Amino acid sequence: MLPEDDLKIVTEKMGREPNLVEQGCFLNLWSEHCSYRSSAPLLKTFTTTGDKVIIGPGDDAAIIKFGNGWVLAIGMESHNHPSYVDPYNGSATGVGGIVRDIISMGARPIALMDPLYFGPLYSPKNLYLFEHIIEGISGYGNCIGVPVVRGEAFFDETYSGNPLVNVVAVGLAREENIVTACAHKAGNKLILMGSTTGRDGLGGASFASRDLSDDSEAEDRPSIQIGDPFTEKLTIEATLEAIGKGYVKSCRDLGAAGLAGASSEMAAKGDLGMRIMADKVIQREANMTPYEILIAESQERMLLEVEPENVDDVLAIADKYDLNASLIGDLTENMDYTIEFEGEVVADIPVKLLTEGAPTFERPSEAPQPRDIGSKPELTADIKQAVLDLISSHNVASKEWIYRQYDHEVQIRTVVKPGDDAGVLRIDGDEGIILSCGCNPRHTLLDPYQGGKGTIIENAMNLAVKGASGIAIVDCLNFGNPERPDIYWQFKHAILGLGDGARALSIPVVGGNVSLYNESGEFNTAILPTPSIGLVGHTENVNAAPSGIFTNEGDTIILVGLTKDELGGSEYYSLKDMASNGEVPNVPENTAAIINTLIDVVHSGKLTASHDLSLGGLAAALCEMCEGIGAEVDLSTVADDLRADDLLFSESYTRAIITSSEPESVKEMLKEIPYTVIGTTGGDKLSIKGKELDITLSIDEINEARNSLMHLMME
């Protein structure tokens, strides 16, 4: 079962060859998914500490100070391979798993975000995956009462054989109620609470650490967990009640590698050993073997460390919520991880060897040959049609069909709903958090460093236009097979870009997930390098966030930031089948100054609308803002050396459109950063003039194009 090299290491360290049960534990705990074997050295380059960081990477979720005794728990995970094999259950259990990471810290989940990546929907298979993944997320999140407040849906052919389902979860707790996964004391008891243990999800961690094969849908189905959101809801309430009453000393949800992963890691973090009586685990299927009991990734299960005198109280709480619970073991002084089954020892492993013994290393990496950026194409003859084609593309079109499936107002904290640059939630009085997620994989493909750095900046701009600076980042690093030197080079340089972008804005990277081997034998290709992130920001006043659309007639429109000839990786070039042409956007050196100034301007209360510029450039942003009110725009003074398509479709970083009825005051605040007055709001049309430019689009034309995804899904 174990690879030959790993078997040699384990045999040498243990002084004997491990039996099959022990090999199963090592196979999963030493997988890339659990042990970060080829990514740990790179992840150490992140800055993970800061004034607000209470718990950083290494636990089920990070803990960040909010204020007034409140803390936030934040985590991010992927469920990519399972969502291809079984899209409904794969995506649903992706939500369930990250939610349990939050509650295992003692926090109540209050928000979800879902960055998703699919193949184009004109393929019946991709359409099937898309519909059922969205159905799984909505079905689970809606049932457990946690709002999905923000997301991303990005489409590219490379995801056809390997869609990505990334989920960010945020929780809220009082600081004194926080628990960790670090075991406290020998002699304390272990209670497994929640659902029963079945054979679903066997070997899920090892399954996540290899490419998808042509036959994955049939042969890998036993690796897919089956979710039950109603049991999850009960598990949330029971776990938080037990923690709130002080009964729980440490806690871990059962995710990757099942009971073997959760229990061994809990013991090792506390420098303790553990004895597990596997036959005491409540099973839903007959004749389960010790290996199956240990490795199964059945959902909705929590492992609790409890002092002996509180065992009956915790079991009573489980009974109150009609949950299964049993006493399955205890913590020991010795540093061994011992499994008993029907009175016999079936596994006995040095616990630190199991949880920390996997060798980590940097793999060989190889930079690609210098890219030929090609020549610029002829200027599009029908620029108006180019704009309509752009805003009706899968990537730029409104994602309303997706987020209308989600209950985004449950818990009544949501101030700014999905569809805007960022989600805004009320936490304490008028104080709240602002949330953003996602990345631009095409930028990262052409320049992993700038793409990684730009991922941070783009999400920070989403917060800035709502008046918040980032306080914590979580990531989900989705890449192909790291054993390929070119893929590992992408991975390495994207991480370096993410780290430098985060340091430039003084935002710590507090946790996340690595998802490698995202390749498909069916399509013989790796996904685009996709370093998706979740970013949390703090705001003193949730009511001060400006609208993302034009709200008043006669307001002055100001473009903040510089527009450059940077169409490499753009949506415009992709639609022209030229995605590998052109210069990739570079992060400006004055990015921090632009972001900080923009936040100050928002706080002044003098803006009537603000919107970040990203995918699709200025053309997309202007169309998105013309939801009910039009505008007259003149781009002739934005840049002297740019063509019409550069002006409209460049995806240069650190730009925003803002509007104000007090333009002179706003311009005074903007004087230290680049900006250009480009027009006035009003009417029922968007008119854009300038060098080589003279187009007019009615609001009806814009709305019809932007609703293309809705029309496709309603057919």
pTM for the whole thing? 0.95
pLDDT for the residue 221: 47
Q: Which positions are catalytic? A: 33, 79
- Decide: 550 and 629 in contact? Cβ < 8 Å: yes
- The DSSP bridge partners found for residue 36 are none
Domains and CATH numbers, the chain: 179-357 (3.90.650.10), 385-411+546-715 (3.90.650.10)
Helix (H, G, I), strand (E, B) or coil at 593: helix
Handedness of CA 133, 134, 135, 141 (dihedral sign): positive
Both tokens of 44, joined, read: 């150490």
pLDDT for the residue 233: 97
Q: Give the chain's residues under pLDDT 70.
A: 203-223, 523
Handedness of CA 106, 435, 441, 81 (dihedral sign): positive
Handedness of CA 103, 106, 109, 115 (dihedral sign): negative
Helix (H, G, I), strand (E, B) or coil at 72: strand
pLDDT for the residue 213: 52
Q: Exposed (0-12), middle (13-18) or buried (19+): which is 235, by Cβ within 10 Å?
A: buried
Q: CA-to-CA distance for 343 and 321, rounded, in angstroms?
A: 31
Cα-atom radius of gyration of the chain, to the nearest Å?
26
Cβ neighbors of 412 (< 8 A, separation 6 or more) are none
Q: Exposed (0-12), middle (13-18) or buried (19+): which is 571, by Cβ within 10 Å?
A: buried
Which parts of 377-529 are beta strand (E)? Answer: 414-416, 423-428, 431-438, 469-478, 509-515, 519-520, 525-526
pLDDT for the residue 579: 86
- 375 φ, ψ (degrees, to nearest 5): -100, 155
- 252 φ, ψ (degrees, to nearest 5): -150, 140
Closest CA to 163 of 136, 130, 123, 132: 130
Residue where the block lists tokens 């019809």: 704
Closest CA to 315 of 203, 480, 193: 193
Q: Are strands 556-560 and 656-660 parallel, antiparallel or unpaired?
A: antiparallel
Q: What is the DSSP letter of 421?
A: S
Q: Exposed (0-12), middle (13-18) or buried (19+): which is 464, by Cβ within 10 Å?
A: buried
Closest CA to 597 of 515, 667, 538, 691: 667
- 556 φ, ψ (degrees, to nearest 5): -80, 135
The alpha carbon of residue 493 and the mean position of all alpha carbons in its chain are separated, in whole angstroms, by: 19
- Decide: 415 and 424 in contact? Cβ < 8 Å: yes
Handedness of CA 548, 553, 555, 557 (dihedral sign): positive
Q: CA-to-CA distance for 547 and 560, rounded, in angstroms?
A: 16
Q: CA-to-CA distance for 66 and 429, rounded, in angstroms?
A: 13
- Decide: 170 and 109 in contact? Cβ < 8 Å: yes
pLDDT for the residue 672: 96
Residue where the block lists tokens 């990786």: 569
Q: How far apart are the first and last CA of the chain?
A: 48
pLDDT for the residue 222: 58
Q: CA-to-CA distance for 296 and 205, rounded, in angstroms?
A: 10
Q: pLDDT by residue (tens digit) across 457-467?
A: 999 999 999 99
